[in-house]
Amino acid sequence: MNGRTGRRWSTRTLGVTLGTALLAALLATQPITVSAEAPETAIEVAAASEQVYERFVALAQMPGQQAQALSYLRLHIGQATKYQASLMTLRLENALQAGLPAMSKRFAEQAVQQAIAQVYKPGDSLASIRDKTEDQTLKGLLNEASAQGYKLESSEGSYYPVINYSIFHEFRPHVHEDIDKYILIMATEAREPAVKDAAIVIGYQQLVRRTQQMEAFVAQYPKSNRIAKVKEMFDRYKAMTFYGTSNTELFDHNGQEMRPNARIGYTNILKWMSVEDSDYLKTLGEFMALAEKYEYQNSAELRDFVKDIFAEQ
């Protein structure tokens, strides 16, 4: 109890006050500059870039400040080194991942789901729904989600946020090559997910191209900060190539005949892409040659071939 004012300060109040003060201090700090009276020295440039990095890290570590971290990175990433820019870009992704469960929980509320459903049309974005709805609470949530770096997805009648990887494109000129390639892989998946409702919803040629890109990343950047993530995606895509998914199995009609779209797609893409530097494409070529032998009907030899592929992992 404060003897003069009689006010009681709770731990939560102090935490919010201090957090707000820190955020205000970070955002109100004067722009990072070097002396205009003399050429920039290496020391000045290094100090400025380190200052950018430290301020961004402080923002990214504050819960609920993804929008501020994103805005800061957009303004200042050009002042950082490639190494720092790469780390900041990945820290932003980490912050968005960390904040996703809380944002998803807010979207999952029945009132929010119903309000979106009233105006939603396939392909709608957060912005288009915001413009159509008259629900002010929903408008606020959509604005917040968009500012933080999320986009809208729908599946089986539900609406939920995912990371909007298209916002990372503007950072690509500033980051190392592996992170640039990583952004391309993730942005492609976010723009057009390969699977929805346990069904493959992209073409089989696109499936093969994406899988080969992931294979190339794993081979070229074994020490990348995101190698584990891309390796997991590569393994998942490879399984889709040879097995399909529960709602789009590679062999349909009771598992006896290869889907025509898969047969045509795989056959054509193998004609157009070089298999020389890709074990994945070589394996797919061997698989399709064996499938042709059996007139694209499933067989014990084909099943054993696929089992051997994944037994070697």
**In the chain, domain spans:** 192-312
What pLDDT, on a 0 to 100 scale, did the predictor assign at position 48? 86
Plot region of 49 (φ>0 → left; ψ -120 to 50 → alpha; else → beta): alpha
The strand pairing partners of 110, in sequence order, are none
Kindly indicate the confidence band of residue 41, based on its pLDDT and cuts at 50, 70 and 90: confident
The strand pairing partners of 196, in sequence order, are 199
Radius of gyration of the chain (CA): 25
Question: What's this model's pTM, rounded to 2 decimal places?
Answer: 0.85
What pLDDT, on a 0 to 100 scale, did the predictor assign at position 255? 73
Average pLDDT of span 209-218: 98
Average pLDDT of span 290-303: 96
pLDDT at 212 over 50: yes
What pLDDT, on a 0 to 100 scale, did the predictor assign at position 282? 97
Phi, psi dihedral angles at 210 (to 5 degrees): -65, -45
What pLDDT, on a 0 to 100 scale, did the predictor assign at position 9? 38
Question: DSSP character for 29?
Answer: S
For residue 32, the number of C-alpha atoms closer than 13 Å in the C-beta half-sphere is 23
pLDDT at 47 over 90: no
How far apart CA 287 and CA 306 sit, in angstroms, is 8
Average pLDDT of span 171-179: 98
How far apart CA 96 and CA 224 sit, in angstroms, is 20
pLDDT at 37 over 60: no
Percent of the chain with pLDDT over 90: 78
> Per the structure block, which two tokens stand in for 89?
């870009």
pLDDT single digits (tens) 65-77: 999 999 999 999 9
How far apart CA 255 and CA 83 sit, in angstroms, is 49
How far apart CA 102 and CA 151 sit, in angstroms, is 14
Average pLDDT of span 211-235: 98
What pLDDT, on a 0 to 100 scale, did the predictor assign at position 312? 73
pLDDT single digits (tens) 252-296: 877 799 999 999 999 999 999 988 889 999 999 999 999 999 999
pLDDT at 160 over 60: yes
> In this predicted structure, which of 31-35, 55-59, 279-283, 287-291 has the lowest mean pLDDT?
31-35
